[in-house]
Amino acid sequence: MTPLILFYVAGFVTLASAILAITRTNASHALIYLVVALLAIAVIFFLLGSPFAAALQIVVYAGAIVVLFLFVVMMLNLGKSSVARERELLTRGIWTLPSLLALVLFAVVLFALVSGDHEAGAQARMIEPKEVGIALYTKYVLAVELAGVLLLAALVGAYHLGRRYLADRREEEESS
Amino acid sequence: MPPTEHVLVLALMLFCIGAVGVLVRRNIIFILLSLEFMMNACALVFVAAGAKWGQPDGQIMYMLILAIAASEVAVALGIVIQMARRFRTLDVDAASELRE
């Protein structure tokens, strides 16, 4: 019974922060809500008996992909000067709600860990990282290689698109 | 374990929120953000299905989605940077030159 309530709480946090994220006007604020939503989904993965997916969700999604977003948003620095924006980010109203939602998630995980019945309440068994690894490098080894090729293509594509000369050439064309 | 139907409903709601975001917002950063939500909803379905049958396949599909999401974001953010340099805005309607 307990994991069920934890699931509903995590699901509520996911949906609430998703709705808040897509209705923000400031991109940085939306990204904070995106992080909270991703963490909530990680909690759901954990409750579903997939601890490896939960760890990957936090490390890769909330860690790497959102930071990539944040880098671009900060780099473009649209509109106001950076100092004014920095001051705006530190007002209390901005970070209270995301922190509160994250605190709810923390309480959920803490409760699941302390009560210790997250495996007893589960009908299905926990899928250990070992099983995932074995299946990944035997049955799905071709998919791993394809993912590697895709990531290489993305690397080349991102490097090419990020280069400055594409924009410079455009400006030359406009001025001439 | 939460019932699979409830997880599927949650994933559907999350996907719909993402779809609404893609359709409603005109800022390219927010469109990409909504795409992340949609991809996460798909990943949630895969993990839920894997958990239901007790097989690791769902998590492997999740990892592949992760790789796809990472490459999508890298390329898309490169396009965002180019767009900000060329049009001085992140409004996707500004980039409708091909139509004209």
pLDDT of B46-61, one tens digit each? 999 999 888 899 999 9
pLDDT recorded at residue A104? 86
Interface touch A65/B70, C-beta < 8 Å: yes
Q: Report how far residue A83's alpha carbon sits from residue B58's, in angstroms, rounded to the nearest whole number.
A: 45
- Cross-chain CB nearest to A48 (options B30, B47, B66): B47
- Please tell me whether residues A83 and A150 are part of one structural domain: no
Radius of gyration, alpha carbons of chain A: 21
- Please tell me whether residues A84 and A149 are part of one structural domain: no
Q: What mean pLDDT do residues B37-42 have?
A: 95
CATH topology assigned to domain B4-93: Helix Hairpins (1.10.287)
Interface touch B2/A7, C-beta < 8 Å: yes
Residue A35 resides in a domain: yes
- Please tell me whether residues A144 and A96 are part of one structural domain: no
pLDDT recorded at residue A156? 94
For chain A, give the number of residues: 176
ipTM score for this prediction: 0.91
Strand partners, B27: B91
Give me the residues of A, 84-143, that contact B with CB < 8 A: 121-125, 127, 131-132, 134-136, 140, 143
Residue of B nearest to A7 (CA): B2
pLDDT recorded at residue B27? 87
Q: How confident is the model at residue B34 (pLDDT cuts 50, 70, 90)?
A: very high
Q: Report how far residue A8's alpha carbon sits from residue B90's, in angstroms, rounded to the nearest whole number.
A: 36
Given CB atoms, is B34 within the 8 Å cutoff of chain A? Answer: yes
- Please tell me whether residues A70 and A144 are part of one structural domain: no
A79, two tokens: 């509109």
List chain A residues with CB under 8 Å of B62. Answer: 50, 53, 56
pLDDT recorded at residue A121? 47
- Please tell me whether residues A39 and A76 are part of one structural domain: yes
SS3 at position B91: strand
Q: Report how far residue B6's alpha carbon sits from residue A161's, in angstroms, rounded to the nearest whole number.
A: 41
pLDDT recorded at residue A88? 62
- Please tell me whether residues A86 and A160 are part of one structural domain: no
List chain A residues with CB under 8 Å of B78. Answer: 157-162
pLDDT recorded at residue A109? 78
Residue A135 resides in a domain: no
pLDDT recorded at residue A120? 44
- Please tell me whether residues A165 and A122 are part of one structural domain: no
Burial of A58 (0-12, 13-18, 19+ CB in 10 A): middle
Residue A37 resides in a domain: yes
Distance of CA B69 to the CA centre of its chain: 7
List chain A residues with CB under 8 Å of B57. Answer: 135
Strand partners, B91: B27
Q: Kind and range of the H or E element at A160? A: helix A141-162
Domain count, chain A: 2
User: What is the domain range of residue A58?
Assistant: 1-100+117-126
Q: Kind and range of the H or E element at A165? A: helix A165-175
For chain B, domain boundaries = 4-93
DSSP A91: S
pLDDT of B81-100, one tens digit each? 888 888 877 888 887 777 66
What string of pLDDT tens digits covers the 176 residues of chain A?
A: 577 888 899 999 999 999 999 888 888 888 999 999 999 999 999 888 888 999 999 999 888 999 999 888 888 866 555 556 556 656 667 778 888 888 888 888 777 777 765 554 455 578 888 989 999 999 999 999 999 999 999 999 999 988 876 556 666 666 66
- Please tell me whether residues A25 and A57 are part of one structural domain: yes
Identify the weakest region by mean pLDDT among A140-144, B26-30, B39-43.
B26-30
Q: What is the 3-state secondary structure (H, E, C) of B3-58?
A: CHHHHHHHHHHHHHHHHHHHHHCCEHHHHHHHHHHHHHHHHHHHHHHHHHHCCCHH
- Cross-chain CB nearest to A132 (options B29, B56, B71): B56
pTM of the model: 0.84
Given CB atoms, is B23 within the 8 Å cutoff of chain A? Answer: no
- Please tell me whether residues A169 and A85 are part of one structural domain: no
Cβ neighbours of residue B5 closer than 8 Å, sequence gap 6 or more: none
The mean pLDDT of chain B is 89
Given CB atoms, is A69 within the 8 Å cutoff of chain B? Answer: yes
Given CB atoms, is B80 within the 8 Å cutoff of chain A? Answer: yes
Bigger pLDDT: B75 or A99? B75
Nearest to A61 by CA among A43, A87, A86: A43
Q: Kind and range of the H or E element at B69? A: helix B57-87
Residue A110 resides in a domain: no
Interface touch A3/B71, C-beta < 8 Å: no
